[in-house]
Structure 1
Amino acid sequence: MSQFNYLNDLKDLKTIDGGITRGPVPRWQKKLDASLTANRSVLSQSNVTTKTPAKLNLDKARKTPNHKEKTISADRFGDRFIPSRSTSNFDLGHYLLRKEDNKDKEECEDKAEETTANSPKSDREKLLLDSLQMGDINTQRIFCYQNKAPAAPESHVNPIRVVYSMKTPVSHKSGATRYIPTSSDRILDAPDIINDYYLNLLDWSSQNIVSVALGNSVYLWNSTTGAIEQLIEYDEGDHACSLAWITEGHILAIGNNAGIVELWDCSKMKRLRVMTGHSSRIGALTWNSFIATSGSRDGSILHHDVRQREHRAASLSGHSQEVCGLKWSTDYKYLASGGNDNLVNIYQGVPGGSTTHNEPLHVLNQHQAAVRALAWCPWQTNILTTGGGTADRCIKFWNANNGSLINSVDTKSQVCALLWSKSYKELISAHGYANNQLTIWRYPSMVKQIELTGHTSRVLHMALSPDGNTVISAGADETLRLWNCFTPDPVASKKPSAASCKAKPSILRSTSLR
């Protein structure tokens, strides 16, 4: 029995495939053990604890005969990236693997049903993925190494988003960008302001004085000093319906609900003159040098020459209902009027401030609602902009020379007022329901630049500051808001304009108010 065991042991030694349990240690094993011993001594001296992944790497190194003969230091062992099971999509991974395996098999079975972008099979697969809200599977991640952030509650407001939304870059012709603040620069209280679409209760003078009618009173606000003064308080049942400052100076024209135009010297807080002629309230006023033009609910338009004792210079016809908008062009060549009869009339003007004929030169009848918002382009004096009421909601551009319609834009809301910028080729409009916003448009493309929100009710009135930088708006929510939306380009402002070099003489020097 012992001899038989001896022969078997000898046979195992001679067989190459047999396991050799005794013999010299391989050279690579000696070097690895020596390096591991040195590393353990270094780690024990520096009190550095090896991490679990490092242990696994060391064990693997012991079992690998082809391990490179390099010194292994503790700083080379880092953490492994372990996917998060809760966010990893293993089903998608399994599907993609099976899809690759079956791709060649499907092509061999039937080449006619090869998957293409337009095949029915591809369409069915796309619909299925869309229903599962998986999107494009080729861009989906199978492994995720961190959990997704939880969704924010509905009431959460991102402060970073608020900061970056405060200013919106807007490009202009110079190629640079300017920023329009989306919030109002200042808010003033306007209690008891009359919520009437057909009245014009706000204006800003060249002396930087804002006039506003609140209830049965008219107030003056000095935007430079912040001082507020009450100009007039009417008896109960009477109130101002329209306000208009003379082009240069401190004379304010007030049209009231009795059909009377009053002239006030606001520097002395004194009434200068009372001019009659209308049988109903005066909802619109505008100035042409020494001519004050008024529009009434009786449908008539009167020219008042404030230099003459007999102030009534001319009477214009053309509207069958209330006149709610009046504007002279910047060169005083045309007078535009808008009424509750959905008409816009353009009258031919003369240098003396009157009109050549009582009948309108052009009758524009393409609006579907009352037209109160009127504005003339400052650099193209023959371009008239008009805005319609709730049933129309359009901003239209007209050529006053021939009465043709140039462009029409549907704003989706009631247009209450229009203003042109002095610094940019832009237009700002005030709106009612549903957003009660101010919108800045780029002209002539009429691309919407930005919407200024803050009013909680329709924006009834707008006025532009003398320098053209600030817009003041009055809303039915009984607030006045100042928007610093037309700050000029600092590079362009350094260049002196020809208009600024030629100072115009004051109109008041040659005007005698009787």
Structure 2
Amino acid sequence: MAAQLELVAGSYEQITFGYQVKTGENEWTAKADFTHHAHTASITAVAASERFVVTGSKDETIQLYDMKKRTEHGALLHHEGTITCLEFSGTSHLLSGGEDGLLCVWSTKTWECMKTIRAHKGHVTSLSVHPSGKLALSVGADKTLRTWNLINGRSAFIKNIKHNAHIVRWSPDGDRFVVVVNDKIDIYKLETASVTGTITNPKRISSVKFLNNSILVVAGDDETVRFCDVGKAKWVCEFKAHETRYVF
């Protein structure tokens, strides 16, 4: 029997699209499910929980969409400047980063901003919440990698890096993380907070995703999707997937 997935995408045309994807044995099919046009500028960040879809935009707002009721759920206003990154921490909290250098923690029950952290000098480029929900990582335009204690909302560790990183991601088990700068991926071990390996993509990297604790999927400014073994810091597989750069 075919499984069914929900796919959500944001566009430069200010619209969020939702699709129901059926994964059959021989064929996958996608059917349009909903559209949400609440922004007045292009969408720059998307995140989803079990119930809600949130989108950030250059219009400085975070828009909420209730997947259960299939209705708009309002807007969050706190950042000054483009919303650059969004990520849920379980079902209880949402984290947002912005061009204003702020990292905000929102309650998904009341949608109130519970904590505002001055995270970076310059914009926050990426954030990632540890699987435990107790830590978060952020990178910004000030060439720093910062670890945050989400229990008290304070900085736990700051590491200076030579360049402006644009992606940071925890592994599913939370024992390592990766930091992306242009075409390079640095692999860190949490226990030592040190780089255990580095791998270089032929082109600038636009997106990464852990399939499991060992395999990282990488896409960038060429037509190829590549798979990296982060334990060995080696490419293990690749395939041509599209005609232009890819984001997932």
| TM-score band w.r.t. shorter chain | 0.7 to 0.9
Matched, 1:376 2:129: yes
Which residue of 75, 99, 123 maps to 1:340? 99
For residues 235-288 of structure 1, give each alpha carbon's deviation from its aligned partner in whole angstroms, at most 9, with x where no partner exists. xxxxxxxxxxxxx95211111122211111222322111112111111111111
- Distance in 1 between the 2:130 and 2:119 partners? 20
1:478, distance to aligned residue in structure 2 (A): 5.2
Residue aligning to 1:460? 206
Q: Contact conserved, 1:423 with 1:486, CA < 8 A, in 2? A: no
Taking structure 2 as the reference length, the TM-score comes to 0.83
Residue aligning to 1:470? 215
Matched, 1:315 2:45: no
Distance verdict in 2 for CA 1:382–1:314, change over 3 Å: farther
How does 1:85-484 map onto structure 2 within 5 Å? 249-267=4-22, 268-309=29-70, 311-329=71-89, 331-350=90-109, 356-358=110-112, 360-378=113-131, 380-389=132-141, 392-423=142-173, 425-432=175-182, 436-457=183-204, 459-465=205-211, 467-477=212-222, 479-484=224-229
Distance verdict in 2 for CA 1:294–1:287, change over 3 Å: same
1:314, distance to aligned residue in structure 2 (A): 3.0
State the secondary structure of the residue aligned to 2:166.
strand
- Distance in 2 between the 1:381 and 1:361 partners? 15
Task: Return 5+ residue gaps in structure 2 as ranges.
Answer: 23-28, 233-248
Q: Contact conserved, 1:302 with 1:316, CA < 8 A, in 2? A: yes
Residue aligning to 1:89? none
- Distance in 2 between the 1:419 and 1:475 partners? 16
Q: Contact conserved, 2:4 with 2:20, CA < 8 A, in 1? A: no
- Distance in 2 between the 1:312 and 1:486 partners? 42
Distance verdict in 2 for CA 1:306–1:333, change over 3 Å: closer
Distance verdict in 2 for CA 1:278–1:424, change over 3 Å: closer
- Distance in 2 between the 1:479 and 1:283 partners? 23
Task: Return 5+ residue gaps in structure 1 as ranges.
Answer: 1-206, 208-247, 351-355, 488-514
CA RMSD of aligned residues (A): 2.1
Letter in 1 for 2:31: K
Distance verdict in 2 for CA 1:440–1:280, change over 3 Å: same
- Distance in 1 between the 2:130 and 2:60 partners? 26
Residue aligning to 1:198? none
Q: Contact conserved, 1:374 with 1:418, CA < 8 A, in 2? A: yes
Which structure's residues are more often strand, by fraction? 2
Larger radius of gyration: 1
- Distance in 1 between the 2:47 and 2:93 partners? 12
Q: Contact conserved, 1:388 with 1:414, CA < 8 A, in 2? A: yes
- Distance in 1 between the 2:96 and 2:119 partners? 14
For residues 280-301 of structure 1, give each alpha carbon's deviation from its aligned partner in whole angstroms, at most 9, with x where no partner exists. 1111111110211111110111
Q: Contact conserved, 1:430 with 1:460, CA < 8 A, in 2? A: no
Distance verdict in 2 for CA 1:327–1:285, change over 3 Å: same
Distance verdict in 2 for CA 1:430–1:418, change over 3 Å: same
1:425, distance to aligned residue in structure 2 (A): 1.1
Q: Contact conserved, 1:421 with 1:486, CA < 8 A, in 2? A: no
- Distance in 2 between the 1:449 and 1:254 partners? 33
Q: Contact conserved, 1:424 with 1:486, CA < 8 A, in 2? A: no
Which structure's residues are more often helix, by fraction? 1
Q: Contact conserved, 1:416 with 1:461, CA < 8 A, in 2? A: no
Q: Which has the higher contact order (CA 8 A, sep 6+)?
A: 1
Distance verdict in 2 for CA 1:341–1:349, change over 3 Å: same
Distance verdict in 2 for CA 1:304–1:471, change over 3 Å: same
Q: How many residues align?
A: 225
Identity across matched positions, percent: 20
Q: Contact conserved, 1:430 with 1:461, CA < 8 A, in 2? A: no
- Distance in 2 between the 1:266 and 1:446 partners? 39
Taking structure 1 as the reference length, the TM-score comes to 0.41
1:363, distance to aligned residue in structure 2 (A): 1.6
